[in-house]
Chains A and B, each alone.
Chain A
Amino acid sequence: MNADTVIDFDPFSQEMYDDPYPIYKYLRDHAPVYHTTKYSLEFWVLSRYDDVLNATREHSIFSNRTGGDLDHTDSLIVPNHVADIDPPEHGILRAMIQPWFSPKRMRTVVEPQLRQRVKHIVEELAHTTPLNADKIAWDTAMSAVQIMHSVPSEDLNRLEAWMRTVYRRTANEPTFPLEALYSGKAICEYMREHVEQVKNSPTNGGEDIINMLLRNDEVPTDDQMNRIVPHLIIGQSGTTQDLICRSLHCLASYPDQRHWLAEHPEGIPAAIEEILRFASPVQHLRRVTNQEVELHGVKIPRYATVLLLFASGNRDERKFEDPDVFNIRRQPGLHLSLSYGVHHCVGAPLARMETRLVLEEVLKQVPEYDISEVSDGSHIGGSLKGLFSDAAGGTELSH
């Protein structure tokens, strides 16, 4: 690919799921503000680290109010959910849930239970070859969902099936599948009923997020609860699972680093940051401009859809030395994978905790685990560049 190549950036293409990184590099170097009218959508694309970072911080210019997904998954399932609104209302809703994710609080209230469950999950799966990363990831995520929302055990399988469907897509298909909508709406309806049940009889000693919301000084209205609670489930419908799967695959691909990490588990948090940078589970999210913006000589009009390519910024050599090299001992944490600004991923502390506990247990119990690289067709999931798969035992490694 060179400067004469006419690039056709297609976020829904098979190519993007197989290996988007050469395309991202081309965009950064030759079209840092790329414009397209593909699939009857018109949108602009920012690919350089600094431009994406600045856009995430300038929420008055780059607004969330028309949704974060290019195919509108999130805003069709939960209209005006907590991440789909701008300040000042955004701040009010976010302030209600932020304290649940306090690392100090989670250390005592969440970690002990979650660690026990992860230990058990890994014990059950440690000695099957290849290691079933998909099941480890989803069992861990559903344990976290149960702790967070007090979902009864008998309902977890149904919830998991809906969650897996929400972001499942087919390559070269830009449309949002009906099954994803039905699953998303099923999640909303389930959580609405569940919140009602919790209101009438507090569960789990009251430390789940639903009880915390109900104890808020300003008790959320039903409308606010319905715009917050299901979105917390949607927000965990593949993101953390992908991070966990990618972590297990990345480390297996770099056995020297995996070996070092098994001997130095204190290095796990920094390794997770490098996996976030290198694998970028959420490849991009969407904004709409509130005013005309000029960048690199290109005018982006008002009310334009703009894609922020976190995964591209994460490989920008203008910011990272040897960006395509996976190095768990690199200075950690400057990646764009959890975004920045007011919409910085609220679940980040929980996602980091889940991933850390899985890596601690796997590296303790089966540090030389064998993991498959079976290609069964990528998991394709909108803005998620997923690794996990519903095919039994099948996963695909994508860089």
Chain B
Amino acid sequence: MKVVVDLNLCQGYGECTRLAYGLFKLGQDLELAWEAHPDEERQADVEVAAATCPTQAISISYEE
């Protein structure tokens, strides 16, 4: 699983930081840092975070 965030779309809502706790973090300046290759067991959390993002900034790919 690979997670990509479009930082032009990201507006710092932080829904991902709550829904996939620990995999996304907002800095003081609302800049997002994220885990690009999270553990597979977090897949459901990451998918919910991506679905919930108000600007749809998160993309997930499932290539090996």
Contact = CB atoms under 8 A, between A and B. Distances in A.
Which bracket fits the contact residues of A? Answer: 10 to 19
A333 B17 contact: yes
A333 B11 contact: no
Contact of B12 (A103, A273, A332, A334): A103
A336 to B, nearest CB: 12
A349 interface: yes
Interface in B10-33: 10-14, 17-19, 21, 30
Interface SS of chain B: loop
A333 B54 CA distance: 16
Contacts of A332: 18, 21
Contacts of B52: 340, 344
Contacts of B11: 102-105
A268 to B, nearest CB: 13
Interface in A76-97: none
Contacts of A104: 10-12, 30
Interface in A262-286: 273
Interface string A246-264: 0000000000000000000
Contacts of A157: none
B41 to A, nearest CB: 16
Contacts of A105: 11
A103 B29 CA distance: 10
Contact of B18 (A102, A103, A107, A273): A273
A98 interface: yes
A103 B13 CA distance: 6
B12 A102 contact: yes
B49 to A, nearest CB: 11
A331 interface: yes
Interface of B: 10-14, 17-19, 21, 30, 52, 54
Interface of A: 98, 102-105, 107, 273, 331-334, 340, 344, 349
Which 3 A-B pairs have CB atoms at the shortest separation, nearest pair first?
A333-B18, A102-B11, A103-B12
11 contacts: A98-B54, A103-B11, A103-B13, A103-B14, A104-B10, A104-B11, A104-B12, A332-B18, A333-B18, A334-B18, A334-B19
Given A103-B12, A104-B12, 10 more contacts: A98-B54, A102-B13, A103-B30, A104-B10, A104-B30, A273-B18, A331-B21, A333-B21, A334-B19, A340-B52
